[in-house]
Amino acid sequence: MPDNSTTVLTFPDQEQSPLSIRAKALVFADPESQQLLHEVERVAPSEAPILIHGETGTGKELVARHVHRISGRRGPFVAVNCGAISETLAEAELFGHEAGAYTGAVGSKTGWFEAANGGTLFLDEIGDLPLALQVKLLRVIQEREVVRVGARKPTPINVRLVAATNVDLAQAVNAGHFRQDLLYRLNVVSINIPALRQRRADIQPLAEHFLGIYAHKLGYGAPALTPGSVLALQSYSWPGNIRELENVMHYALLVSSGREIRPEHLKLNAITSHGQETAGSGDPLQIIRQQLHKLFQAEQPELFEQVENLLVRSAYEYTRYNQVRTAELLGLTRNVLRTLLKRHGLLNDPHHPTTTTTTGREIAWNIVN
């Protein structure tokens, strides 16, 4: 489980929607996450609208709930998924309706804005809101009052608006799918939630959090993550973000012995939705990290010597055996580089670097394969 110094946000009613794609927990262990938490808590007490950007499953609703919790507002927190609202009934859902306003409206009903009066209204996936409704939403924000469908008299409201999106609304404006004036109104405070792959220090405490939850349901203590498992989790790109991590840990717990989680227990997808390998989403350092993990599992002897040999040899060949350029490329002094070149048998005969027992090509093959 995360240590006591780590802030953890969770849903109080998360078991009511076990199949939801939303993130059900959020920790702030990574420096980027801690900066995010500081920013959120700084703007929460204000009345300014907030627009939260982030990929699906990064914890946008959790952040919105935290904003409401520490804002000082005493009304309810109401969450609405704009993408799930029927376009024909969207206006009535948001603003309410009077009896007889349309076929089937047998009685009057308050909308989401009135339901959130005195509190916070969270509009998730705001980019899916129909253009016609965007005009009316803009008027509500400006006038701070709603007019129910079929009514003539406006109803004053006191609502803090927090919206969220997983798309670039500026591009949606350029494409004619989103109103620019509404974007200006919503984007008074902009909060960006990094993807899980961009805050890797959050991965282990989140994994341990989910292990603890599911182990508790099964009636035994949470198993430990082996170092190899931690490395595998941190090397993966997490296209599904926190929700995917939760699923992976649930599965790992079910197939493990219950004492420890090893790399073979982790069901990590090898291919993303774009058909590319997920190792670091193409980030060379993350690809190397994942390949090193394979070498760790193989317990290859003298691994550090071999990897250092590969790095020095590759850089030296890349610069066509220019010592000054190689030192600059690796961020070393020339004296340190010469020591390394000598250690790996590259100093005296640079054009035929075959004096070491393991060649650069052999080491490269080992790492890639």
Express each pLDDT in 11-49 by its tens digit: 666 544 443 456 788 899 999 999 999 999 999 999 999
For tokens 């409704």, the residue is: 133
CA atoms within 13 A on the CB side of 195: 15
pLDDT at 261 (0 to 100):
93
Task: Look up residue 369 and give its two tokens.
Answer: 């394969």
* 5-13 CB contacts, 8 Å cutoff, 24+ apart: 6/205, 7/37, 8/205, 8/209, 9/59, 9/62, 9/63, 9/65, 9/66, 10/62, 11/62, 11/65
- Indicate if the pLDDT at residue 272 is higher than 50: no
Specify whether the CB–CB gap between 23 and 241 falls below 8 A.
Answer: yes
CATH number belonging to domain 31-196: 3.40.50.300
Q: Which of 234, 361, 226, 228 is nearest to 299 (CA)?
A: 228
Q: Where are the domains of the chain?
A: 31-196, 199-285, 303-368
pLDDT digits (tens, 9 = 90+) for 50-98: 999 999 999 999 999 999 999 999 999 999 998 888 777 788 888 887 7
pLDDT digits (tens, 9 = 90+) for 106-145: 667 888 899 999 999 999 999 988 888 899 899 999 999 9
Q: Selecting from 3.40.50, 1.10.3470, 2.150.10, 1.10.10, what CATH number does the domain 303-368 have?
A: 1.10.10
Specify whether the CB–CB gap between 93 and 129 falls below 8 A.
Answer: no
For tokens 């009066």, the residue is: 117
Q: Which amino acid is at 341?
A: L
Q: Selecting from 3.30.70.2860, 3.30.1330.40, 1.20.140.10, 1.10.8.60, what CATH number does the domain 199-285 have?
A: 1.10.8.60
Specify whether the CB–CB gap between 231 and 289 falls below 8 A.
Answer: yes
